[in-house]
Structure 1
Amino acid sequence: MPKVSIPTLPLSGLFGIVKPSGPTSMSVLTDIKKLAGKSRIFVEADKLGKPDQSKKHSRKRSRFDSVKIGQGGTLDPLADGVLVIGVGRGTKHLNQFLDCTKEYYTTCLLGCETDTYDNEGKRVRLAPWHHVTREKVEAALPKFTGEISQTPPIFSALKMDGRPLYEYARKGIPLPRPIEPRKVTVHSLELVEWKGADHTYEWPQDALDADEKKAMETALKSVESEISLKDDPETPDKGEKPPTFVLKMEVSGGTYVRSIVHDLAHHLNSAGHVVTLTRSRQGKFVMDKPTEGDVSCVPWEVFQRASENSSGETDEDGWTEWEREVLDRLEIIDK
């Protein structure tokens, strides 16, 4: 690997990682912070390994606690893909990645609606799905392209009058007013794969019980009269599975991918929820195959190996594998 000319250390900057599905964005950030706090890339060499005396505490803080680090747009535990990391002065530039254009791939499983609009929630209702075809999905996509008005899910952390929306739904508290729609832009939306029944996905086992459904209906009916969470299931043939399909979309910041899948399924007179979600691009940072002007991301496995490898093997320039990977992709921030 060719040597990289490195400015005076330590550095501040931005780089992208490929977050795996499963862990939270915060836990991933914590793992990276532990590594960054022990690296001469981000910490002055004479301070490495020394306790942080910058603040008085009852116990000494480890050096990595003093490394300023953040991320430019959380991914749900279910989701994988691009997560932009800022270190030092790089954290001041993370807001640009909240509003930038993002690209996603998502898989929709038909026939079942969940409270969170994905497969980590509980079943809300079942709906027919035999009538949905690839052609009908493709014909519906233009209605969800361009500037659209999108209503966030009631099971979300958005607050109304100081109370999270999901609290209204869980406790059966009437909403004081309708959930405010937001204008978002779907630059492109296409069906890239019709899997049909060729998949291993299943509807969630847990379903809202009668009291939970009643609470959710109470919250929603206070602002929208035409609400019904009644099941309308189809009886599939033995061994038959509801279809799935994969969407690729390029959207503006603030877009709820789960809501697009939810609303699209409703438009098709069915129900659906997200079973996979991958952010393949966030601004200039991409998962793979970068084109001119793009920056590739560091695979998560690189950081995993670093966390598990206590020997800290280095290359001829004294860099560990994860440090070299980050240096090769780091956008250095001087201001």
Structure 2
Amino acid sequence: MPKVTIPNLPVSAFFGVAKPTGPTSMAIINDVKLLVTASKLFMDADKLEKSKGKKTKWRGKGDIKIGQGGTLDPLADGVLVVGVGKATKKLSQFLECVKEYRTTCLLGCETDTYDSEGKRVRLSPWRHVTREKVESALAKFRGEIEQTPPIFSALKMDGKPLYEYARKGIPLPRPIEARKVTIHSLELIEWKDTHDFKWPAETFSEEAKKAMETALQGAGEKPMLVDFPEEPTDDKAPTAFVLQMRVSSGTYVRSIVHDLAHELGSAGHVVTLCRTRQGRFALEASEEGDRECVPWEVFEKAGADAGAVDEDGWHAWEREVLAKLEVVE
């Protein structure tokens, strides 16, 4: 790895992690913290010496601060901005910045969470949907639009997450408020006639349907929970397609896919979701000032075995981070 300029140590900084699909964002942060709190890059040398042999805690006197600039669901992969030390106080800038996503929509089935992690709620015809129809429908979703967050989301109403109302059958005190978001760009980049994606096997139970209906009816809303079965045949799987978008903060990608499928006279849900950019951090640098992310495998390997240090006293993972971090004074 090429030499990098070493800042005054220890540093407060931002760096991007290329999160894999599967683990939660908090799990990623916890694993990175174990490395950060044992590194001279981020910790004072005297404190490191005193902490040798002690178990690292998430919080504690003298413990270093670490956080992330915008959670990704377990299903999602891509850019996760990490802040260490003083940088944690400035992470809010990444909540408000422009983000880019790449997502795959699978037609014919709607789920309670609008993605493949949820349960099957509704089936709908999909064979009539063509690439041309999708490209035409996308125009309605570009620019400034109003978007209603899904009821199975962590957005809070009167201090309670929306998903809690839906799961427990608690009537919503009022309709879910639509929010204005800006879709700077939205393009269909791949059409998949053949693929390995499948609709979720688990269906929404009658009890769960009633709970959701009760929650929505409390706000005068009616869910679409009627099945129009059109099972895939052996020789043709439900169509899937990939969208690429650049959006403002507060945009729900799952809702775009859900609403687009309705616009097409079908149903659909997200089966893959990748955040390719968050502000100036990106999976692939393409603009001036971009900073690429550190592959998750680098931290995973170091967590299992940090390995030997180089001639300058750095572990391989520290070298990777040094090459990509942004120091915060």
Identify whether the pair has TM-score above 0.5, normalized to the shorter chain.
yes
What is the identity, as a one-letter code, of the residue corresponding to 2:283? M
Instruction: Tell whether 2:18 aligns with 1:22.
Output: no
Q: Please give the residue correspondences for 1:292-303 in structure 2 after superposition, counting only pairs within 5 Å.
A: 292-303=288-299
Q: Is this contact kept in 1: 2:34–2:56, CA < 8 A? A: no
Report what 1:138 is aligned to. Answer: 135
Q: Is this contact kept in 2: 1:189–1:249, CA < 8 A? A: yes
Residue 317 of structure 1, aligned match among 312, 317, 320: 312
Q: Please give the residue correspondences for 1:204-215 in structure 2 after superposition, counting only pairs within 5 Å.
A: 204-215=200-211
TM-score (norm 1): 0.93
Q: Please give the residue correspondences for 1:143-182 in structure 2 after superposition, counting only pairs within 5 Å.
A: 143-182=140-179
CA–CA distance in structure 1, aligned partners of residues 172 and 8 of structure 2: 55
**In the TM superposition, what whole-angstrom CA distance separates every residue of 1:83-138 from its partner, at most 9, and x where no partner exists?**
10100011111100001000000000000000110000111111111111111110
Stretches (4+) displaced over 4 A: none
Instruction: Tell whether 2:277 aligns with 1:305.
Output: no
SS at match of 1:90: helix
Structure 1 stretches of 5 or more lacking a match? 53-59
Residue 189 of structure 1, aligned match among 162, 166, 186: 186
Q: Is this contact kept in 2: 1:290–1:296, CA < 8 A? A: no
SS at match of 2:208: helix
Structure 2 stretches of 5 or more lacking a match? none
Deviation at 1:226, TM superposition (A): 4.8
Residue 92 of structure 1, aligned match among 89, 93, 97: 89
CA–CA distance in structure 2, aligned partners of residues 313 and 272 of structure 1: 49
RMSD: 1.6
Report what 2:258 is aligned to. Answer: 262
Report what 1:72 is aligned to. Answer: 69
TM-score (norm 2): 0.95
- The alignment-based identity, stated in percent, is 66
What is the identity, as a one-letter code, of the residue corresponding to 2:318? E
Aligned pairs, number: 325
CA–CA distance in structure 1, aligned partners of residues 234 and 42 of structure 2: 59
CA–CA distance in structure 2, aligned partners of residues 228 and 4 of structure 1: 56
Deviation at 1:314, TM superposition (A): 1.7
CA–CA distance in structure 1, aligned partners of residues 234 and 5 of structure 2: 63
Judging changes above 3 Å, is the alpha-carbon distance between structure 1 residues 10 and 209 closer, same or farther for their aligned structure 2 residues? same
What is the identity, as a one-letter code, of the residue corresponding to 2:77? D
What is the identity, as a one-letter code, of the residue corresponding to 2:89? K
Report what 1:276 is aligned to. Answer: 272
Deviation at 1:80, TM superposition (A): 0.3
CA–CA distance in structure 2, aligned partners of residues 81 and 187 of structure 1: 20
Deviation at 1:241, TM superposition (A): 1.0
What is the identity, as a one-letter code, of the residue corresponding to 1:86? G
SS at match of 1:106: strand
